[in-house]
Structure 1
Amino acid sequence: MKKYILSLIALLTLFSSTLVAQTPAVTAPKIDSGDTAWMIVATAFVLLMSIPGLALFYGGLVRRKNVLNVFMQVFILVAVISVEWVIIGYSNAFSSNPIEALKPYIGGFDWAFLNNIGINDLSPYFISHSQTAADGSAVGTIPHIVFIMFQCMFAVITPALIIGAFAERINFKGFLIFSVLWSIIIYNPVAHWVWSGDGWLFKLGALDFAGGTVVHINAGVAAIVTAIMLGKRRDYKGHAIPAHNITYVVIGAGLLWVGWFGFNAGSGLAADGLAANALMVTHIAAAAAALTWALLDWIIDKRPTVVGISTGAVGGLVAITPAAGFVGVTGALIIGVVVSLICFCMVAYVKPKLGYDDSLDAFGVHGVGGMIGAVSTGILATPAIQAAYSGAAYGNLHQLWVQLIAIGATIIFSGIGTFILFKIVDKTVGLRASDKHEAIGLDETQHGETAYTNFD
């Protein structure tokens, strides 16, 4: 009997060891070198969008007496917002607020000065910035500080986009104070709403892969508010003032196009199929939009223009931004065509009709383009790209409704907040450049420099 019992024990031991051997080992999350390398490159691409991309694009569109002022505005925002970001911006946008009632609306200060973040800590964010483990542990495959740097580039370029609305007529000191306050009080909370795991729009299910609401609608609404409150340029006649250097414009647009691959394809935070799809649809939407705008120019004004095709490309890039992780090529083509049709009408007809001076069409392209992209995401999101997400075209009307809520909330918050900040800064420091300074040019009056020198 004892012999049989020992044999049975041996058999059970062998069986249990086989089961253990067949059970897959649970590996702890760790930094992936491929994902990390890609995200470092993507971060550099997004910085390329600001300096020199946006600086050249906007700088070429203004008159020669104001080009350095635009360059300086973009450059100093890269500097000052980067500093603000590591001091409090990142923590306010992405950390959890200890006050329960504030959690959905703004982060806390746990990560101020990047406190408690080590160089080998994993990012607590993964696909679409927001998928955290149930226990709050890190699930990303890149270092936390790489994610912080990537998001820093978004924080930098958003207030820089607003420059296009008030170009050629704003006091530099007032501009700088306003921009820093806007980033802290407007940008950081909206980023928290949409991209933080605690954010109320994130929990509602709003889809914004790379910044349609957080970046473009947010900046676009601020742009139209500041343009109207600041008033028209002294010599604005209701139509576009000719660009002083179209070569700058097209080089800037080209750099924006290239940099946007980091902006969108990087927003999945991994080097994988989702990034590849975002890369593809970003390019196709930009191409479709550029072609559509050129054809509109050709049909309506009898000739295609370089400024037109450059503007169209940027519009396509803006509109595909929120949708890049959720739509396929068909969706990208539709978005590219639609955004150019609508933004062309905004720039060519609506703006002259209403008479506001959005100098470089920051609202007409970025604000409106962002809205088109956010709505399109709610319609065209397909489970073929991410199985968990679908839009109205695939039977999910609820997603479109959520997108509309996100758009409306961003418009209201950014619009009212920008209005209040403008009033405060204008009353204390002043925002409008004087008639004399505007006439001479802001390069000379604000910076004591001129972009071009004659050696006659």
Structure 2
Amino acid sequence: MEDITAPEVWTLASSALVLIMTPGLALFYGGLVRVRSVVNMMLFSVSAMGVVGVLWILFGYSMNYFAEGESGFAGSPFKDFGLLNTDSADYIGVGFGAVFAMITTALISGAIADRVGLGSWVLFSGVWATLVYFPVAAWVWGGGWIMNLGATLGTADVIDLAGGTVIHINAGAAALALAIVAGKRLGFGPGSHKPHSIPLVTIGAALLWFGWIGFNSGLASTAPDAGLILVNTLGAPAAGIIGWIVVDVLRGKKPGVIGAASGAVAGLVAITPAALNLAPLWALLLGLIAGIACAFAIDLKYRLGYDDSLDVVGLHLVAGVIGSLYLGFFAFDDGLLMGGDAGLLLVQAISVVSVMVYSFVVSLIIAFAIKMITGLRVPAEVEERGIDAEAHGEEAYAYESPEEQLAVQVAQLR
């Protein structure tokens, strides 16, 4: 039996870092919703971990890559069903892929906060992972057509280090489709649904940034590569914070923690595909651009009339597109402004548009089908009273009634 290598140890540790991101997302999203739907919102992230984790072991990993001689839409779900044919030496990679699938699916849920039932979400998450995430991951990382697009066209290869297309554009496009089908929340409008807990948002954002180090650098095999990824994963979100706050101030808004946290997420999303292929200076510029662009993009839902509750589209789709296309200009060697030609920009644009269109269309079909089966949304009276108490029998904060407080005081006196 071979000893574990240093890169394998780091990938193992990075899997733990990425795993904590989904509970971190639950806290981030949970703080952004109203107090009456915190449990429901957090359950969406936790349930995605359960559903996608099981599916990944059963057939998701098998669909995630093309074996030698295999071709088609995605890898065969039966070639390694239940990991029966997977070499145990590959298990670290299997686990690393699983946590990516979990967080990607959970990201979508922020678009439907306050109005969709858990059963509908669980059904959507399982079908979406099967029909959208697993195939797209195979296209980009598992030997599929996007991975080979550069060779096909005679250009540089598509660059997507940790999921600009697979994770963020994929989830953002799905979130837009699901939000459209779900419809608007009761009373939807600017300022109508304020976050209930800024501390939860801050803790969640901190855990996301913490885990993102492993997210971007989990497969780094050399110290210089890991160091560059680390610096860029620190610099881009830092610049994103500045960009978002500056936009808020210039627009007459008071700077706040929600904006700062959102700016950090925008920078993190944008650097995800690019952390190994940009000089730190260009990573800072990317983060600044993403923070500024996303600060404006989150207001589009009011102008265009779709209710993306927690701005999955405005953050993940927009910043994912920016980060993926930015490589076409500033990537080492092959970027248009770094001595290369337009070839890299071309293949980056093809991958962005293809994943965005595919994810949106298939997600739209899945969402309409589920709406026909379950109705998708909770009844209006449940939404008004609060999903947590009505649907889950739990509340985020269990306050004692005056009668309960009096009973405790009497018991203490005795």
- Provide the C-alpha distance between the structure 1 equivalents of 2:280 and 2:395, rounded to a whole number of angstroms: 45
Q: Quote how far apart the aligned CAs of 1:97 are.
A: 7.7
User: Which residue of structure 2 aligns with residue 203 of structure 1?
Assistant: 148
Give the letter for the 2:207 counterpart: L
Pairs within 5 Å for 1:43-192: 43-51=15-23, 53-96=24-67, 100=71, 102=72, 105-108=73-76, 109-119=78-88, 121=89, 144-192=90-138
Cα deviation per residue 1:35-82 (whole Å; 9 max; x = unaligned)?
12211111111011101x101100000000000111111111111111
Please, what is the CA RMSD of the aligned residues? 1.6
2:298–2:313: 8 Å Cα contact kept in structure 1? no
Identity percentage of aligned residues:
39
Q: Quote how far apart the aligned CAs of 1:240 are.
A: 5.5
1:38–1:271: 8 Å Cα contact kept in structure 2? no
Residue 392 (1) aligns with residue 336 (2) = yes
1:297–1:304: 8 Å Cα contact kept in structure 2? yes
User: Which residue of structure 2 aligns with residue 362 of structure 1?
Assistant: 312
Give the letter for the 1:323 counterpart: A
- Provide the C-alpha distance between the structure 1 equivalents of 2:351 and 2:317, rounded to a whole number of angstroms: 14
Which of the numbers 301, 307, 318 marks the counterpart of 1:351? 301
User: Which residue of structure 1 aligns with residue 395 of structure 2?
Assistant: 450
User: Which residue of structure 2 aligns with residue 248 of structure 1?
Assistant: 200
- Provide the C-alpha distance between the structure 1 equivalents of 2:281 and 2:214, rounded to a whole number of angstroms: 22
Q: Quote how far apart the aligned CAs of 1:271 are.
A: 4.8
- Provide the C-alpha distance between the structure 2 equivalents of 1:192 and 1:221, rounded to a whole number of angstroms: 18
Secondary structure at 2:147 match in 1: helix
C-alpha distance 276-30 of structure 1, shift in aligned 2 (>3 A): farther
Give the letter for the 1:346 counterpart: A
Q: Which has the larger radius of gyration?
A: 1
- Provide the C-alpha distance between the structure 2 equivalents of 1:410 and 1:88, rounded to a whole number of angstroms: 21
Secondary structure at 1:162 match in 2: helix
Residue 33 (1) aligns with residue 5 (2) = yes
- Provide the C-alpha distance between the structure 2 equivalents of 1:240 and 1:267, rounded to a whole number of angstroms: 43
- Provide the C-alpha distance between the structure 2 equivalents of 1:298 and 1:31, rounded to a whole number of angstroms: 55
- Provide the C-alpha distance between the structure 2 equivalents of 1:115 and 1:50, rounded to a whole number of angstroms: 27
Which of the numbers 258, 262, 268 marks the counterpart of 1:311? 262
Cα deviation per residue 1:385-429 (whole Å; 9 max; x = unaligned)?
xxxxx2111222100000000011001110110011111111122
Aligned length: 392
**Unaligned residue ranges in structure 2 (runs of 5+):** 150-156, 403-414
Secondary structure at 2:172 match in 1: helix
Cα deviation per residue 1:346-398 (whole Å; 9 max; x = unaligned)?
113x2222222110000000011100010012221114xxxxxx211122210
Cα deviation per residue 1:225-244 (whole Å; 9 max; x = unaligned)?
11111110012124452100
Q: TM-score, normalised by structure 1?
A: 0.83
- Provide the C-alpha distance between the structure 2 equivalents of 1:79 and 1:419, rounded to a whole number of angstroms: 23
Q: Quote how far apart the aligned CAs of 1:272 are.
A: 2.6
